[in-house]
Amino acid sequence: MKKCLLSGLFLLFVLLPFRATNKVDLSGELETALKLRNQYSRQKETRIDSLKHLLYPNMNDDERFLLYNAIYEEYYTYRFDSAIYYVDREEEVAMKLSNPTYRNLSIIHRSILLATSGYFSESIQNLEQIDSRTLDNALRIEYYTAYEWAYSMWAEYSNDNIYAPRYYEKEMLYQDSLISVLPVGSPLHHYWKGENFYRHRRYAEAKNCYKKALEGLPVNVRLFAMATYGLALVYSRTNNWKEYENYLIKAAISDQVCPLKENLALQELALYIFKNRDGEVSRANRYLNYSLEDAMYYNNRLRMLEIARKFPSIVLSYQKQNLIESQRLQWSLICISLLSIGLVVSLVYIYRQMNQLHKRKKILANMNCELQHLNKALVDTNHTREEYVSLFMDLCAAYIDKLKKYQDLVKRKVKAKQTDDLLRLVNATKLSEMDTREFFMNFDTAFLNLYPNFIKEFNSLLREGEEIIPKRGEILTTELRIFALIRMGIKDSSKIATLLFYSPQTIYNHRSVVKNKAKIRDNFEKQVEEICTINLLCNLTSSASTS
């Protein structure tokens, strides 16, 4: 009897936690995951550091490549800048070994990162270097995944009726190719079949595939977040909003636990709460701030743009909620003035309410300030574009006018049968030199109007005593002019030589000489491309974290 009682108590204590777990509020789990997000990030960084410590100077190049690849896999959904750094290292080893498999894998990795960060055309161009016929099955999976991802992100970014359908069509072609090479019955195969069914609006079949993909998957793998997000989208299409919210929360939890900084579920959940949960604007705002913090940490331009579109409506609603609470507070003060009993309790209550209101106003002030900075930066960017167009039009107009004058001169000389004069005029070099000087003067003046601090910031990259200062009567030197073109995105020596009327070798020599003067020679031209830029988002992270 005693044994039966003990066995019964044991089963009761074992089963109760499982019954409780089935009833755990998913929102509570998400809040716990958000509280622990910094801890999850530290664990991931510890894991990455342990991989980096395995690198040593004299290690085998094949082992070094595989280690770089492992570090990239940790970074590519976590931090763009670090991921691209290790892709560069992969490419160096691949080139050193002349290994086409390693080379192709580094190209695929770079393309995925470019697409994730909003460089869609560059991503596709990068992939076009690969001859897919030379790929083994494992690398072909990566290849088709990269293409599918690039066109998917491009379509999502376009979000129109002209280009987006074209990109979605391309995405589906590569998605079909990807499914054809995946191992049948694998979690990835089930997931991509689910994606394919979803695109074709076969929602019941998509749901079954997503659920098969989830079987046995732990919450701390990216595929779990992808499949649960896919299920959420299926439930939204079938108007099952309860399950839509549940699976968005599950995907958001997985994003935090992995942790993934390239994510979408939390901002979609914030928008859903904002539209469907009265009185929970603050929670929606907090989730959106977390999403913005992740996007900025990863340096994801696409996600930052999406959040910037959603921010104003939530901020406006947040202000409206504060206004309502402020009105309630006024009524409370009127009531308090009429009541003598419970005065002390009422005063404590008012003090707390006022303190909360002050904090909210401070948050709003910070958010509005950052939005103003963002709008100003966008206005400045548009103004710069207008100046580029104006410069182009002015130069075109000037040279069209000059061409017309030459045409008129030729006509007059031909009619007057002054062919010898015409030949001397054509062979004269003075006119060409005058045109060249005029072109350089126009270019130099226009460029410094756009980037007035260019010379100063450029010289700050050079060693002390090696600064390049234009002579009297000179606006830019040849070296400054070359790097002005590099700042504008023209990096090829042949193109620069054509624009500046030099040979490619001369341009190369000038670049080499200036590089030797640089404080940091290896990264010099990359630094030149980044000078005279505007920080669009200022210190938005700090204001987001305080909310």
Per-residue confidence in pLDDT tens, the chain, 547 aa? 333 333 333 333 333 333 333 334 899 999 999 999 999 999 999 999 999 999 998 899 999 999 999 999 999 999 999 999 999 999 999 999 999 999 999 999 999 999 998 899 999 999 999 999 999 999 999 999 999 999 999 998 888 899 999 999 999 999 999 999 999 999 999 999 999 999 999 999 999 999 999 999 999 999 999 999 999 999 999 999 999 999 999 999 999 999 999 888 998 999 899 889 887 888 988 998 898 899 889 887 777 777 777 666 555 655 565 555 565 666 667 778 778 788 888 788 888 888 888 888 888 888 888 788 777 767 766 676 666 666 666 667 676 777 777 778 778 878 887 777 777 776 654 446 777 788 888 888 888 888 889 999 999 999 999 899 998 888 899 899 999 999 988 889 888 888 888 899 999 898 999 999 898 888 898 999 889 875 433 333 444 444 4
What Å distances lie between residue 287 and 195, 279, 292, 481, CA to CA?
Answer: 26, 15, 9, 47
What is the rounded distance in angstroms from the CA atom of residue 73 to the CA atom of residue 415?
Answer: 74
**pTM listed for this prediction:** 0.56
What is the rounded distance in angstroms from the CA atom of residue 445 to the CA atom of residue 439?
Answer: 10
Q: What does 313-346 look like in DSSP terms, one character per residue?
A: HHHHHHHHHHHHHHHHHHHHHHHHHH--TTHHHH
What is the rounded distance in angstroms from the CA atom of residue 346 to the CA atom of residue 327?
Answer: 17
CATH topology of domain 36-159: 1.25.40
Contacts of 531 (CB under 8 A, 6+ apart): 451, 453, 454, 457, 458, 461, 487
CB-CB contact of 69 with 105 (8 Å): yes
Cis peptide bond upstream of 259, omega within 30: yes
Helix (H, G, I), strand (E, B) or coil at 518: strand
Other C-beta atoms closer than 10 Å to the C-beta of 463 total 12
Q: How far is Cα of residue 175 from the mean position of the Cα atoms in its chain? A: 23
Q: Residue 184 half-sphere exposure, CB side, CA atoms within 13 Å?
A: 1
The domain spans of the chain are 36-159, 318-387, 420-530
Contacts of 429 (CB under 8 A, 6+ apart): none
Q: How far is Cα of residue 461 from the mean position of the Cα atoms in its chain? A: 27
Residue with tokens 């913005």, as numbered in its chain:
292
Rg (CA), the chain: 31
List the one residue out of 278, 269, 292, 351 whose CA is nearest residue 321. 278
Helix (H, G, I), strand (E, B) or coil at 462: strand
What Å distances lie between residue 398 and 231, 390, 438, 439, CA to CA?
Answer: 60, 12, 10, 10
Helix (H, G, I), strand (E, B) or coil at 520: coil
